[in-house]
Every structure is written in C-alpha cells, then in structure tokens.
Amino acid sequence: MMKSPHPSVTQQQYIFGSLFLLSNKLQVIGDQFLVQDGMTIRQWFLTVMILQFDQDPGPTLGEVARLMETSHQNVKQLALKLQEKGFLTIEKDAQDGRAIRLQLTEKSREYWKAKEPVQDLFLQKLFAGITPDEITSTCETFQKLFHNMDGWNNPLEK
C-alpha cells in the first residue's frame, strides 16, 4: 500500500500515483484469480465490454475498441486468444464485409455465470469497510476525471 503523501506530494499527485498502483495490483490479483482457467484479467475485461452491447450479432471490433479506449489491434489480439479458447467468435459482418463482429459463445456465458459467486466474494472483500457514500463519491470523482480527460489530444493544452 502506498504510504501517506510526503509533505512535498500534493493530494492530487498522491491520487494520480495511487491510480497506477491500484491498476497494477488489480491486474496481478485478477490474473492470479483466472490463471487456473488460462484466462487473463484483460480477457475478462474484453468479455465485460462485449456484454455492454446487448445486440445480435455482437458488436463490431471498432465499437468495442472505442468503449475500451484502446486500439483495434489490442482488441483483436485479446479476441483471438478468446476465440482459440472457444469463448467468442470473430466473424465478418453480413451487411458490411469490412466490419468484424465479436460474439460471445455459450461456453463463455456458462463460464462467467459459474464464476459469479467468486466474483461477488472478490468485490465484497475489495470494498470491505467502504461505505455506500464513499462508493458514490468515488464513482462521481471518476466520472469527473473521465469528463476532464475526454477529448484531450495533449493534456497540457488549454
């Protein structure tokens, strides 16, 4: 855990650094949680992002990349690994041959359904001792941070 800020470190700097530490810790813990199934937390995240689109056929690779705020190449790399494991299919769109659709398989849906109790326990442990008001405040702060960064090409521009 990151120590209390040094007197020369502002609270904003502390939060900024802590976000990186939190991200790294979540990735390590998530990968450990999924390793026995040959899965990574980034593959889990792709699955969650695909589920945000309640459409049949599934979303396009570009739609998912925009939602994840990452490149098409990153999404395709993750998708190919999940396809190898039978968790999703990658197919050209029937109407637009340039578009690539990502569709979760029944195997994927069953796998994540079976994982729900353990995932719920993980979240309970992660958020233990944090009040509903603190969770609400954190969500609001994250929304403001995302809003502040939307549209940035260069963070130093006015």
All structural domains of the chain with their residue ranges: 11-149
Q: What is the residue-wise DSSP string for 10-55?
A: -HHHHHHHHHHHHHHHHHHHHHHHHGGGT--HHHHHHHHHHHT---
- Look up the CATH number of domain 11-149: 1.10.10.10
Q: Measured between alpha carbons, how far is 77 from 80 in angstroms, rounded to an integer?
A: 5
pLDDT of residue 97: 82
Q: What is the pLDDT along the chain (158 residues), one digit of tens a residue?
A: 556 667 778 889 999 999 999 999 999 999 998 898 889 999 999 999 998 887 778 899 999 999 998 999 999 999 999 999 999 999 998 888 888 999 999 999 999 899 899 889 989 999 999 999 999 999 999 999 989 988 787 666 65
Q: Measured between alpha carbons, how far is 8 from 68 in angstroms, rounded to an integer?
A: 34
pLDDT of residue 154: 62
Q: Both tokens of residue 100?
A: 């690539």
Diameter over CA atoms, the chain: 60
Q: Both tokens of residue 73?
A: 């190449």
pLDDT of residue 31: 93
pLDDT of residue 75: 96
pLDDT of residue 158: 56
pLDDT of residue 71: 93
pLDDT of residue 125: 92
